[in-house]
Amino acid sequence: MAILVDENTKLVVQGITGRDGSFHTLQIMEYGTAVVAGVTPGKGGQTFQGPGGLGVPIFNSMDEAVAETGANTSVVYVPPAFAASAVEEAADAGISLVVAITEGIPVQDMARAHAFARDRGARVLGPNCPGVISPGKAKVGIISGDIVTPGPVGVISRSGTLTYEAVMLLTKAGVGQTTCVGIGGDPLIGTNFVDVLEAFAADGDTEAIVMIGEIGGTDEQEAAEWVSANLDIPVVGFIAGQTAPPGRRMGHAGAIISGSSGTAEDKMKAFEENGIAVAERPADIVGLIQAVLSAKFA
């Protein structure tokens, strides 16, 4: 099994004719994911040329795209000024998972979009996230299909390239993944660690979890407590930003130590106190995961 995306994913790409949208649509289609529609206002009726001569119909609105194709998932490659509106449009059209890749969406825009998506019962992943991939099943977003392989480990991360690093190391070591989820580097994200942990807990096939956090906020601390109270699956954690100074934004809008809150030290402590093995370096993740997996099957 897998979480969030799988063989049943029917994807609409919002902003399919843009530079990023068109590039990644090709990659997503090459990975074998069903891209059933694209949306770009004003370009309805055109066709997006996918790999191998596959054409994807383009619609003016999500409403039409969903009505015509029965899509259940969307991915947003829309510029920041319009991206929150695209998330709202997807939720309003009945999409159940909206993956928002766009970075730099105004926070107040996203506050409303998150509220609206909750009201509509839609899950938002991101924004400012690399998306999600269930190896061998479906890829929605920008995580490369080349570095993943099917297997028993679930991966959750606030970061893009750091996820690649961890996943590549796992794959090289022969440890495959059920699903790799990038939850995003923004302060207001639609799906947090606990949400994804819950999904992994309900997934029959995930036998261990890698959780990659970073400075800023207290999402990791809450996740650690949730793990300790609710989860039977072993978790290995890593926190980026141990050397980050307070009060400075480290790339991600959400990666900032405010006052004394949100330090890597705090988060690592919370992991340890709640039974989550902490990797000192990304490279240590592999050994720790192998240890918990073999302990499980010992």
Partner 1 sequence: MNIHEYQAKEILRANGIPVPPGEVATTPDEAVSIAERYGGTVVVKAQVHSGGRGKAGGVKLATTAAEVREHAEAILGMTISDLTVEKILITPAEDIETEAYVGILIDRKSQAATFMVSAEGGIDIEQVAHTDPDAIRKLTVDPRYGLMNHQAYWLANSLYDDPALVKQAAKIIRQLHAAFTSSGASMIEINPLITTTSGEVKAIDAKMTIDDSELFRHPELVEYRDLSAEPAPETKAREADLSYVKLEGNVGCCVNGAGLAMATMDLVKYYGGEPANFLDIGGSSNPEKVVTALEIITSDPNVKVILFNIFGGITRCDDVARGIVEATKRIDITPPIVIRLIGTNEKEGLDILEEAGFTAFSSMDEVVERAVQMVKTG
Query: Using the rule CB under 8 A, is 220 a contact of partner 1?
Result: no
Q: Are 164 and 201 in contact (CB under 8 A)?
A: no
**Contact call for residue 244 and partner 1 (CB under 8 A):** yes
Q: Which stretch binds partner 1 (CB under 8 A): 49-57, 70-78, 213-221, 226-234?
A: 213-221
Is there binding between residue 149 and partner 1 (CB under 8 A)? Answer: no
Q: Which of residues 6-35 bind partner 1 (CB under 8 A)?
A: 20
- Catalytic-residue membership of 252: yes
Q: Is 198 in the site for partner 1 (CB under 8 A)?
A: no
The closest of 162, 228, 241, 166 to 194, measured between CA atoms, is 228
**Of 47-55, 79-87, 198-206, 290-298, which segment contacts partner 1 by CB under 8 A?**
79-87
What is the nearest approach in angstroms of partner 1 to the Cβ of residue 86?
Answer: 8
In the complex, the smallest distance separating the C-beta of residue 254 from partner 1, rounded to whole angstroms, is 7
- Choosing from 71, 175, 215, 257, the residue that interacts with partner 1 (CB under 8 A) is 215
Strand partners, 11: 35, 73
| Residue 185 interacts with partner 1 (CB under 8 A): yes or no | yes
Selected binder of partner 1 within 51, 174, 245, 246 (CB under 8 A): 245
Q: How many residues in the chain?
A: 298
Distances (CA, A) of 77 to 8, 22, 120, 215, 236: 22, 9, 21, 26, 31
Instruction: Give whole-number Cα distances, 118 to 88, 89, 129, in Å.
Output: 10, 13, 19
- The answer to whether 214 contacts partner 1 (rule: CB under 8 A) is yes
Q: How far is CA 31 from the centre of its chain?
A: 17
Instruction: Pick one of 6, 18, 46, 112: the residue that binds partner 1 (CB under 8 A).
Output: 112
Query: With CB under 8 A as the contact rule, which of the stretches 49-57, 184-192, 203-211, 287-295 interacts with partner 1?
Result: 184-192
Beta bridge partners, 125, equal 99
Rounded Cα–Cα distance for residues 103 and 211 (Å): 22
Residue 276 per-residue DSSP state: P
**Catalytic residue selected from 183, 252, 264, 289:** 252
Q: Taking CB under 8 A as the criterion, which residues in 92-111 touch partner 1?
A: 92, 103-108, 111
User: In the complex, what is the shortest distance from the CB of residue 165 to partner 1, in angstroms, rounded to a whole number?
Assistant: 6
Confirm or reject binding of residue 283 to partner 1 (CB under 8 A): yes
Question: What's the closest the beta carbon of residue 67 comes to partner 1, in angstroms?
Answer: 12
Which helix (DSSP H) or strand (DSSP E) does residue 238 occupy? strand 235-240
Q: Least distance from C-beta 285 to partner 1, angstroms?
A: 11
How many alpha carbons fall within 13 Å on the CB side of residue 32?
A: 12
Closest CA to 8 of 129, 96, 103, 112: 96
Cα–Cα nearest to 98, from 213, 184, 7: 184
Taking CB under 8 A as the criterion, the residue among 34, 72, 116, 228 binding partner 1 is: 116
Using CB under 8 A, which residues numbered 249 to 268 contact partner 1?
249-255, 258-261, 264
Q: State the residue for tokens 């480290």.
A: 250
- Among the residues of the chain, which ranges form H helices? 19-30, 62-69, 80-92, 107-120, 161-172, 193-202, 219-230, 264-273, 284-297
Site for partner 1 (CB under 8 A): which residue of 12, 86, 194, 209? 86
Residue 217 binds to partner 1 (criterion: CB under 8 A) = yes
Task: For residue 89, state whether it binds partner 1 (rule: CB under 8 A).
Answer: yes
Which residues does the annotation mark as catalytic? 252
